[in-house]
Amino acid sequence: MTRKLEGKVALVTGAGRGIGRSIALKLAGEGARLVLNDLDQEVGESAAKLIKDSGGQALTCIGSVSDPAFPERFLQTAMDGFGGMDIIVNNAGYTWDSVIQKMTDEQWHSIIDCHMTAPFRILRAAQPIIRSLVKSDQVNGRRNVRKVVNVSSMSGMFGNAGQTNYAGAKAGIIGMTKALAKEWGRLHVTVNSVSYGLINTRLINTSADHGGISTVEGHAIKFGVNRDLLANLEQTIPMGRVGTTEEAAGAVYLLCIPESDYISGHNLVCSGGLTGV
């Protein structure tokens, strides 16, 4: 049986761990050739090795998505290595929480830059490349539907105390998605977003391996949710539990396969039935 993404070229940011890693592995498992980005070279290369050890193809582009020079380097990695691009998943991100009266400008701009400005720059840089690829498709009598999936959050839909920066950015990426779906339809590109509820990643899981603290862009960021609070939150989810990263990846996958070629401008909620936070 032919795999649904055989031969496609997929670019995934923040692909070294968590949801991004599971997205990369899922797309590769369906035949896509991957360009993986992560801030941490070790975890990025580890994800690429997993794909290659399984018989897939993967390249890495290590670095911060917030770097203005990153988009060109990221996209050129795909063009030089695989000669095209079919899927772009803007997944990279983290949280840096604080109530608004204590939130610094640096906290605000860091999160906005990572979750909203970085996807904007990547997609802006991708447009002329995609336009050129579409013209080549037309010359050769092909019609290729390309895919963009932007990762959002239920925090962006309903807000969350202590996350003015994150909620603002995630709400913004939904608006950007809907606008770009209207711009890029003529290029045969679907543009959708996925808003996650509670997914079992280091953002909520204070496990012993990182102690709830991680360094991101030189800043010590506290991750995790109090275990008792998390247990209470789980009770609000109709399915009674947080989602796995593999289940989260499945939502992105649905928007990358041919069956979703006429779905665009949509925000898919992946939350186990949770409809508000």
The tens digit of pLDDT for each residue in 53-79 reads 999 999 999 999 999 999 999 999 999
Residue 235's alpha-carbon distances to 21, 174, 246, 249, 273, in angstroms, are: 27, 27, 21, 23, 12
- Three-state SS string across 73-130, please? HHHHHHHHHHCCCCEEEECCCCCCCECHHHCCHHHHHHHHHHHHHHHHHHHHHHHHHH
What integer pLDDT is reported at residue 207 of this predicted model? 47
CB 123 within 8 A of CB 185: no
Token pair in block for residue 251: 């939502």
Closest CA to 155 of 199, 109, 205, 113: 199
What integer pLDDT is reported at residue 209 of this predicted model? 44
What integer pLDDT is reported at residue 208 of this predicted model? 41
Q: Tell me how far apart the alpha carbons of residues 213 and 138 are, in angstroms, rounded to a whole number.
A: 50
Percent of the chain past pLDDT 70, that is, above it, reads 91
What integer pLDDT is reported at residue 212 of this predicted model? 61
Q: Beta strand pairing status for 219-222 and 213-216?
A: antiparallel
- Tens digit of each residue's pLDDT (9 = 90 or more) over 15-37: 999 999 999 999 999 999 999 99
What integer pLDDT is reported at residue 112 of this predicted model? 98
Residues 6+ apart with CB under 8 A from 254: 260, 268
Catalytically active residues, by annotation: 166
- Tens digit of each residue's pLDDT (9 = 90 or more) over 184-219: 999 999 999 999 999 999 767 654 444 466 667 766
Phi, psi of 124 (to 5 degrees): -60, -45
